[in-house]
Structure 1
């Protein structure tokens, strides 16, 4: 994991790229107030969001760590199916 220092003692760990495992970089654009994380090696880009917390959480979330939307709607999770 890469440690990302966002200032004022706020450090976040970025997981490696889900596709190639390389390091990731946090990016922002002031023009649209959009935040996202991208892979330094293969260029994969995580979902953009309105806050850096949400963009980082989306990048760090992995499909095998959280139930799918279908499973949540059905009240089931992979381990309880």
Structure 2
């Protein structure tokens, strides 16, 4: 089996890019999860007055969702 590894964000810009991508994916209606999966962490993410992501509002669940959706953006299922 061929496993691909993904880089974790190294800068604030990379971190915020993932959350902005997740937000746009959700607005387009292209983000769905099982009823058993909680998205409470995503819903609790706040923005600061300057428009930046408030890191104190990001929990592990929100971070994992953002990273996963960002890395899956170019995924092409095998035929």
Highest RCO, 1 vs 2 (Cα 8 Å, sep ≥ 6): 2
* TM-score normalised by L of structure 2: 0.29
Bigger Rg, which one: 1
Specify which structure has the higher proportion of helix.
Answer: 2
Specify which structure has the higher proportion of strand.
Answer: 1
